[in-house]
Amino acid sequence: MKSILFISLAVITPLSMAGTAAFEDAKVLSATPVYQQVSVERPQQDCWIEQVPVRSHRDHGVGLVVGGVLGGALGNAVGHSKRNKQVGAVVGSVLGATLGNAVAKNRRGHDKYRAVENCRTVYRSESEERFLGYDIDYEYNGQTYRVRSQEDPGGSIRLRVTHTPVI
């Protein structure tokens, strides 16, 4: 019980000493808008078109094999004796494979191109002004004061005045 009484007195005593509040109007001398320059990073897409080769034929050694078989058959057909036919087949296979591989590579050299769009995100820094409020100069009891507010008060500003006795 004693603790509740003690807490109540501790809270009530400062409030009773604070005095009462009254409201008065003061004359506004000026209200100046205040801005601040800030740097803002904004993302932007940078895109470009790029020509990319597209392979129309995929060579999986077909030119080499076909050239070798055809060259071997031709070399075998040209030879007159059994030994000449064997040598002709081997030489014809090697020459045919080399020629077939070269033809296949030559065909691969004719690539087609297609347009591909590539994009990346880049951040650009921009400077902009941000509104901070109004610096308001006002006069009260012959003294000039300054306060910052989010709104322009017009010709007068409302003040809360408290009176606290000095004891």
In a domain, 79, yes or no: yes
Please tell me the pTM assigned to this model: 0.43
Q: Supply the pLDDT for residue 98.
A: 76
In a domain, 145, yes or no: no
In a domain, 48, yes or no: no
In a domain, 91, yes or no: yes
Instruction: Quote the number of domains for the chain.
Output: 1
In a domain, 17, yes or no: no
Domain that holds residue 97: 57-110
Q: Supply the pLDDT for residue 74.
A: 66
Q: 104-142 burial string, b = 16+ CB within 10 Å, else e?
A: beeeeeeeeeeeeeeeeeeeeeeeeeeeebbebebeeee
Tens digit of each residue's pLDDT (9 = 90 or more) over 139-151: 999 999 999 999 9
In a domain, 143, yes or no: no
The residues of the chain scoring below 50 in pLDDT are 4-7, 9-13
Q: Supply the pLDDT for residue 131.
A: 95
